[in-house]
Amino acid sequence: MSESSVRFVDRSGAGAPELTRWSPLVIPKEQIEDQVKRLAGAPAPANGRRSALFVHPESKEPGLGLAPGIRVALDVLLPGERTQPIRHNSAQVNFCIQGAGHSVVAGKTIRFTQYDVWIHPSLATYSHFNDTREIQVRLTYSNAPLLEKMMIHYVEDTPPAEEAATEREAEAGSAAASPFPDLIRLDDDGTTLMSYERLINPEAVEQRPLHWPWARVKAELDKLAVLGKGYIGRRLYLLYNPATGRTNGTTNNFFAAITIRPPSINDKPHRHSSAAINYFFGGTGKSIVDGKTYYWKAGDLMLTAPGWAIHNHSSNNEPVYELTIQDQPLNLAMDSLLWQEDLRHPPRLLGSHKGFSTNRRVAAKS
Ligand SMILES: [Fe+2]
């Protein structure tokens, strides 16, 4: 076969291929601690980044990840260390699981401590610093796997100094008035033509580095404990970035949500096309995923819900805290977010069809 020829794959009369998915996976606390020790014990790399990826056994290059679209890295900094500046067109959610320090993201200093969450927007230059006497350990969640699969993950190891905002604005405002309209409606349904000028200058929604300190989140989260056992929703807060608009994101790709699960709470099985990765940092419990039971405890990381796998989680006799990362905003943006909240009823396409409701009003009173 000539390497420049297209390959035709006959699909005539073919049915849809069967949906497959990666297996759920628990990475126990002890395994994470071993990696932290290994990273801390190695000589400091030139770029300062002591880092290891959690790679699912079914993940293949390009785009290694713990879920097909989610990469999780374990990042360690020793006291006094810092990382060299870097920037890329993947966006990150950072989560401190041990120690403290600060990050400088797009010129903003974010002082963080254990269980704080903060985001690095796409193309923001950042460095991490450990100005404490303790080891600093972070989990970093990134959409790099998708960009690597698309072969467009752009990384600058030596980024230029920050471009002045006024320069960007001056350039954006320089478009001369066009003799042709930017938008031409073809019918009343919305079928429209758009000019090239609008195509290359879409509305810019600034993505800022945001920081959710654990103390502030926990104070709000603990109030949800009053929701009685009869509550059918999840006792969580999504760490919402308003710049993600209707896709309810923390970044444009992921939401990060922190859940409190009081003792002996057993969620109803459900499923969604978004994949979910949990880090548990309080209590113990189990998850039933695709009919198989997985046990976890504080300090474990888990691919809890590969996209479309039926799952539910239960806490044992103490409260559970967990950080969940899901690629839900990406699915909302693609209009692919199927969600089946009750397995007795058909799934709904969240974002463009009507969603679900809970009994929170009633449960809060009981
Ligand atoms: Fe779920």
* 60 CA from centroid of ligand 1 (Å): 25
Q: For residue 181, what are the CA distances in angstroms to 6, 202, 203, 289?
A: 39, 15, 16, 53
DSSP secondary structure of 256-302: EEEEEE-TT-BPPPBEESS-EEEEEEESEEEEEETTEEEEEETT-EE
Q: Kindly report, residue by residue over 264-284, the tens digit of the pLDDT.
A: 999 999 999 999 999 999 999
CA 200 to centroid of ligand 1, rounded, Å = 37
Model pTM score? 0.94
CA 256 to chain centre: 6
Intervals of the chain under pLDDT 50: 165-166
What pLDDT does residue 363 have? 75
The continuous run of DSSP H or E covering 148 comes out as: helix 144-149
**How many whole angstroms from 311 Cα to the centroid of ligand 1?**
7
Q: Domain residues of the chain, as ranges?
A: 25-151+207-365
**29-52 pLDDT per residue, tens:** 999 999 999 999 999 999 999 999
Q: How far apart are the first and last CA of the chain?
A: 70
CA distance 90 to 101: 23
At residue 17, the pLDDT reads: 93
Measured in Å, residue 26 CA sits from the centre of ligand 1 at: 16
pLDDT for residue 166: 47
Q: How far is the CA of 275 from the centre of ligand 1 (A)?
A: 8
* 208 Cα to the center of ligand 1, angstroms: 28
Report the separation in Å between the CA atom of 222 and the middle of ligand 1, taken as the mean of its atom positions: 21
65, 59 in Cβ contact below 8 A?
A: yes
Fold annotation for 25-151+207-365: Jelly Rolls (2.60.120)
CA 269–ligand 1 middle distance (angstroms): 8
On whether the CB atoms of residues 76 and 50 are closer than 8 A, the answer is yes
The Å distance, Cα 6 to ligand 1 centre, comes to: 40
> Using only C-alpha atoms, what is the Rg of the chain?
23
